[in-house]
Amino acid sequence: MIAYLTPVLLVLGLVAMSVRILPEYQRGVVFFLGRFQAVKGPGLIIVIPGVQQMVRVDLRIITLDVPSQDVISRDNVTVRVNAVLYFRVVDPNKAIIQVEDYYSATSQLAQTTLRSVLGKHDLDEMLSERDKLNEDIQAIIDSQTDSWGIKVTNVEIKHVDLNENMIRAIARQAEAERERRAKVIHAEGEQQAAEKLVEAAQIMTNDPGAMQLRYLQTMSDMSQKNSSTIFFPLPFDVMEVFRKMNK
């Protein structure tokens, strides 16, 4: 019995070692005697022990946290910037054969690209144009990882950290900008008011009746207030007579 059971157990053990089950989000890169054979999966995969080897590759989107990097902007301001990178494997064959560790390689490339791209921009652009910078960084990393079978789907700059002196300088700059805007608005208001007064004066000059109506309205407004001043209205035609007599 032992003589019969031993081969059966060996065969069962060999079959158990040969069976691989890959979920839907994984693929297996199979090598035959060290040479690339095929990309298999998902589902049940048979790998002959000792002859074939299989490397599992996850096809889901991977979130890579890019460590904080010291960046010197184009206007010589030192900031610390960190970001998050989203990528996935689109070609398992290239991801295993073309690069030793695609996760580490993508991380290092993201760090160097982040410093290189941000170093070409001013601090104001880093703070106000993040969407454009994200697109530039994504395009550069994606073009370089294409030969690795990697697709970069998104890059997001998370934080741009400044030192205390720079924060105070930006606060003073913002306060000065608010004061400048307030003065401009006040000057524009004065200009508009002066223009309206000139228009009113021209209307009254061209139409004596308008001047007389304004005169009467002013007297009416002042009479409604508590005042000890007494006004004696004088018609405009009488004033014109006195003016001619003085000539």
List the chain pLDDT tens, one digit each, 247 residues.
666 667 767 767 777 788 889 999 999 999 999 899 999 989 999 898 889 999 999 999 999 999 998 888 888 888 899 999 999 999 999 999 999 999 999 999 999 999 999 999 988 888 888 899 999 999 999 999 999 999 999 999 988 888 777 667 666 777 787 888 888 898 888 888 888 877 777 776 776 666 666 666 666 666 666 556 555 555 555 555 555 555 5
- C-alpha distances out from residue 134 to 6, 102, 121, 146, 241, Å: 63, 21, 13, 18, 80
Residue 214 is assigned to a structural domain of this protein: yes
Task: Tell me, yes or no, whether 95 and 32 share the same domain.
Answer: no
Task: Tell me, yes or no, whether 150 and 111 share the same domain.
Answer: yes
Q: Where are the alpha helices (DSSP H) in 19-101?
A: 92-97
Residue 85 is assigned to a structural domain of this protein: yes
53/34 Cα distance (integer angstroms): 8
pTM, entire model: 0.66
Whole domain around residue 114: which residue ranges? 62-162
Residue 236 is assigned to a structural domain of this protein: yes
Task: Tell me, yes or no, whether 70 and 154 share the same domain.
Answer: yes
CATH number for position 138: 3.30.479.30
Task: Tell me, yes or no, whether 79 and 50 share the same domain.
Answer: no
Residue 175 is assigned to a structural domain of this protein: no
Task: Tell me, yes or no, whether 68 and 155 share the same domain.
Answer: yes
CB proximity list for 170: less than 8 A, separation 6 or greater? 162
Residue 185 is assigned to a structural domain of this protein: no
Residue 169 is assigned to a structural domain of this protein: no
